[in-house]
Structure formats: structure tokens, C-alpha cells
């Protein structure tokens, strides 16, 4: 009799669980950042692809397919989809992170992986401008932009990177009237270390506004041209 009761409860629970439908979708954006993508946009994407989470039984929902759909979105870098025992669909979403804005016929971002990323309707990222670069040159400039982004001093001062026709780069700085000739993207650690030393010395001597050009292309030297 006891065994019969156990089997009855197990069968009842199994039947109830099988018939349970997904009641809602819980979205979690990593780092609490949902700047470029809204929850409404995610739900719309699922609906457009016929993932009717409020009417599909748990056993019939392909979580891998949902992950693939989400990761195909232009603003999503990674998605982890899961389902709770009480019939709720959850998704942990990592959005793509822009590190530069490329000025072209149709402007776009470059993300932290060095890939083209469309602008967002919901948020405008405060990142350096990049000019003179084509899409097939993004991987060339990616190490340079990443280096600047990871350096507090450079992030504060560099506002624009311009690729010249000879393949060399010129930088423009915030609130300073001179341009910085960086050259190629090689030896950027040495070049920026020299630039920081020059900047601190010129600021101490109150001569930052005395120059119109600072050239970092000559090894350990910083060649300056006065106005």
C-alpha cells in the first residue's frame, strides 16, 4: 500500500511537471548594463522567432536554439539560457562593449573584440572617434584602441585617432591644441611612456600650450614643434 502511494505521488508530480508551461522570462544583464538592448527588444526577438515562452511546455523548448537566436543579435556578445523548475525561462545576457566609434559613410562602433558593431537607438557610448579606417583595418587598430582604453591617463585625454594614408596614426587630445604623431601601431608601450613623461614635464613647466605637434616616432625621443 505504501509503495502504491509513492508511485501515485511520483506519477502525479511527473504529469503536473510535464504539463507546466513557461510562465515568464527573467532577463539578467551582466554588470547591470542594458544600455544598448532593452528587455522589450529581447522579448520581441523571441516572439519573431516563434519562441512562445508562455505556451510551450518545458520539454518542447530547445534552450540551445534560444541561445543561438539571442547571440545572433547585433548587440549581444554572449547568452546563457536556462529554465527553472517552476517553469520560468531565464537568460543571462552579456552585451557587446564598444571601445571606439568609427566615422564612415554610415558610422558604427568597434567592439572590444575588434568587430564592427552598429550604433544603438537607446544609448550613445562615450568612446574615442576613429577616422580614416575601413572595416578591413579594424583588426589593425584594435590593439591601439584597446591599449588606450586600458590606460586611465590615455582614456582621459585621447579623443580621436586618425589613420593617415601612409598607414600611420595621428591622435587628438581633449582640451589641448597640439596633435600627436604616433606612427604605426608598433612599440606603442614605449611611445606612450615617452609621451607621458613629456606631458608631465611640459605641464610642470606650463608649456603644454606652446606646441602644435608632438612626434613619437623616433625611438626614445619626443620631437616637438612649437607654434
**Are the C-beta atoms of residues 121 and 143 closer than 8 Å to each other?**
no
Task: Spell out, as residue ranges, where the chain has pLDDT lower than 50.
Answer: 5-23, 54-56, 60
- Could you give the CA distance from residue 162 to residue 110 in angstroms, rounded to a whole number? 14
Q: Say if 131 falls within a structural domain.
A: yes
The predicted structure's pLDDT at residue 1 = 59
The predicted structure's pLDDT at residue 193 = 95
User: Beta strands 76-83 and 129-131: pairing type?
Assistant: unpaired
- Could you give the CA distance from residue 220 to residue 190 in angstroms, rounded to a whole number? 7
The predicted structure's pLDDT at residue 41 = 78
State residue 104 phi and psi, 5-degree precision: -135, -170
The predicted structure's pLDDT at residue 210 = 92
Cα dihedral 174→175→177→182 (10° resolution): -20
Q: Which among 44, 71, 95 is the end of a domain? A: 95
The predicted structure's pLDDT at residue 157 = 94
Each residue's pLDDT tens digit, 132-147? 999 999 999 999 999 9
pTM as predicted: 0.79
Each residue's pLDDT tens digit, 96-126? 999 999 998 899 999 999 999 999 888 889 9
- Could you give the CA distance from residue 225 to residue 104 in angstroms, rounded to a whole number? 31
The three cell numbers of residue 208 are 603644454
- Could you give the CA distance from residue 164 to residue 159 in angstroms, rounded to a whole number? 16
Count of structural domains, the chain: 2
State residue 20 phi and psi, 5-degree precision: -70, 140
The predicted structure's pLDDT at residue 43 = 75
Q: Say yes or no: 114 and 222 in one domain.
A: yes
Q: Say yes or no: 49 and 140 in one domain.
A: no
> DSSP readout, 44-60?
HHHHHTT--TTTSBGGG
DSSP code at position 122: S
Q: Which among 55, 76, 95 is the end of a domain? A: 95
Q: Which residues constitute the domain of residue 208?
A: 98-226
Amino acid at each position: 500500500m505504501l509503495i502504491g502511494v509513492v508511485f501515485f505521488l511520483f506519477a502525479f508530480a511527473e504529469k503536473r511537471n510535464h504539463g507546466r508551461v513557461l510562465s515568464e522570462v527573467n532577463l539578467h544583464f551582466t554588470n547591470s548594463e542594458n544600455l544598448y538592448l532593452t528587455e522589450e527588444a529581447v522579448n520581441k526577438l523571441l516572439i519573431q522567432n516563434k519562441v512562445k515562452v508562455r505556451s510551450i511546455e518545458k520539454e518542447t523548448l530547445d534552450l540551445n536554439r534560444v541561445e543561438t537566436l539571442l547571440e545572433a543579435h547585433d548587440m549581444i556578445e554572449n547568452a546563457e539560457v536556462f529554465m527553472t523548475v517552476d517553469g520560468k525561462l531565464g537568460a543571462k545576457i552579456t552585451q557587446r562593449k564598444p571601445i571606439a566609434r568609427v566615422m564612415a559613410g554610415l558610422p558604427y562602433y568597434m567592439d572590444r573584440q575588434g568587430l564592427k558593431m552598429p550604433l544603438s537607438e537607446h544609448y550613445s557610448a562615450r568612446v574615442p572617434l576613429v577616422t580614416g579606417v575601413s572595416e578591413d583595418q579594424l583588426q589593425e587598430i584594435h590593439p591601439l584602441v584597446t591599449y588606450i582604453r586600458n590606460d586611465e591617463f590615455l582614456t582621459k585625454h585621447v579623443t580621436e585617432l586618425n589613420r593617415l594614408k601612409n598607414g600611420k596614426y595621428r591622435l587628438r587630445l581633449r582640451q589641448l591644441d597640439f596633435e600627436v604623431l604616433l606612427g604605426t601601431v608598433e612599440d606603442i608601450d614605449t611611445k606612450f611612456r615617452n609621451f607621458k613623461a613629456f606631458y608631465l614635464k611640459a605641464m610642470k613647466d606650463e608649456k603644454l600650450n606652446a606646441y602644435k605637434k608632438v612626434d613619437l616616432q623616433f625611438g626614445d625621443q619626443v620631437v616637438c614643434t612649437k607654434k
